[in-house]
Structure 1
C-alpha cells in the first residue's frame, strides 16, 4: 500500500475517510524532482477534493434515506388505520 492511498469506507451510519499527507513523502523520497513534487501536490489536492465531495454525497444520501424512512412509516401507519 502506498503512502498516499485513500480509504473510503461507507457503512450504515459511519464513514471513514483517511488521506495521508504527501508532505512527509516529499521530504523523504530520494531523487524527487520539483516536477514530481508539484505532481504529488496536485494529486493530494485532488484527493482531498474527492473526499470532500464523497462526504457531502454521503450526508445527502443519509438525509434522503431518513426522509424515505419517515415517509414509509407514515404510509404503514395509514394502512393500519381501521376504515370507518
Structure 2
C-alpha cells in the first residue's frame, strides 16, 4: 500500500513539474497579463511594485500590482487592467 501511494505522489509531482516547465513563449502566444484580478496566493509571477518576487505570494485578492495570465482580449471584461497602475 505504501509503495502504490508513493508511486501516485511521484506521478503527481512529475505532472506538476512538467507543467511548470512550459516556456513563456507558449503563454505569450494566446495570453496576456491581467493586473488586479489575482486572488490571494494565486498570482502568476512577481509584482512590478516589488511587494513580492514570485508566483503565489499575493497577500490580498485583486491587488492592483498582482497579475494572472488570461486569454487575450478578456482582461478588461474580467475587471482587470492589461498594464499595472502607475504611482
TM-score by length of 2: 0.28
Query: When you count helix as a share of all residues, which structure comes out higher?
Result: 1
Q: Which has the higher contact order (CA 8 A, sep 6+)?
A: 2
TM-score, normalised to structure 1, is 0.29
